[in-house]
Amino acid sequence: MTVMTFDTMLPVIFMALMGVSMLVYVISDGYDLGVGMLMHRATPAQRDVMIASIGPFWDANETWLVLGIGILLIAFPKAHGLVLGELYLPVTLMLIGLTLRGVAFDFRVKAKDTHKQTWDRLFFAGSMLASVSQGWMLGRYVSGFGEGWNYPVFAAAIALALPMAYVLLGAAWLVMKTEGELQERAVGWALTAWGPMVLGMLLISMATPWISATVRERWFALPEAIALVAIPLATGIALWTVRVLLQSRIGRGPLCWLPFVMLIGVFVLGFLGLAYSLYPYVVIDRLTVWQAASSPEALKVILFGVCISVPAIAGYTVFSYRVFRGKTGALTYA
């Protein structure tokens, strides 16, 4: 048995940090992307409340994306070149979408009523473009950037499914943060998105072992397969609980926060399943964490910086969510 020293553990530590950073980004920016994709379904007054519900958080949420990509760049330079080389176009489209969201978010503040609707449409378009791009990137990454007709089809399926997951998460956020008519509409949006999101997750879960022999061997080997059943089982229970809560009065009152929390659990379970499928690869079947990592000496220096930056980012995130907890009121600008 190979003994794991600190030097050999360093790439694993950075892989875990990168994975957690991307998970936090997907959850935190996922709900505000979802809110953006629901803008066109709301009245002008409701759009102001929707914007107010994400206003204190959305900039900070994207910090986790910068952290994850930064770790990929400095800790796994070989993988960084391969991944971004394969995903150059969707990454560009994602950045255009995120930039468009930022511009629309700021310009709608000063826009006249006749122009505000235009900026709201651009905010919706930027949210949709970023979400679809992220879904495509996830699909290509999970499949190891394979060649053949089935790989783009698989990526396209995730490009359609991920926005629906974001919409469901965004609607659950609005159920938690708003009241009255907007909350009722958010419940309807969530129930509408629930079915396509569950169907997409089911089809993608079935297709992933078909697209990757490595994943197939991991998930269907005994006795590991028996223990792994807990992940899809817990995911199914969580999703069903979300639907039951949304259909009940208690899910709109004292427990209005629970559907959102349960959906976070679904994303965490999906992350655990993905991590199990990929490890020890940074790029499946092509680069392991040790092959792609920087030298141990460089990683030790980088770890020192990470030990300062990650707690700072996490602390600020927790602080902002604590300060702006509770229901969202009418949108006002100083």
Amino acid present at 39: M
With H, G, I as helix, E, B as strand and everything else as coil, classify residue 283.
Answer: strand
Tell me how far apart the alpha carbons of residues 276 and 294 are, in angstroms, rounded to a whole number.
23
Q: pLDDT value at position 190?
A: 94
CB under 8 Å to 177, separation ≥6 — which residues? 53, 327, 328
Run of H or E including 287: strand 287-288
Tens digit of each residue's pLDDT, the chain (334 residues): 456 788 889 999 999 999 999 999 999 989 999 999 999 888 888 888 898 888 888 778 888 888 888 888 888 988 888 888 889 999 999 999 999 988 888 888 776 777 788 888 999 999 999 999 999 999 888 888 878 778 888 889 889 999 999 999 999 999 999 988 999 999 999 999 999 889 888 888 877 777 777 777 777 777 777 878 888 899 999 999 999 999 988 888 888 999 999 999 999 998 998 888 888 888 888 889 998 888 889 999 989 888 888 899 889 888 888 888 878 766 554 4
In the chain, what are the domains? 11-319 (1.20.1630)
Determine if the pTM surpasses 0.75.
Answer: yes
* Max intra-chain CA distance, the chain: 69
Nearest alpha-carbon partner for 241 in 219, 269, 205: 269
| Distances from the Cα of 97 to the Cα of 69, 91, 124, angstroms | 17, 10, 9
Location of structure tokens 């996830």: 138
| Distances from the Cα of 102 to the Cα of 126, 138, 214, 292, angstroms | 9, 23, 39, 33
Contact present, 202 and 239 (Cβ < 8 Å): no
Terminal-to-terminal C-alpha distance of the chain: 63
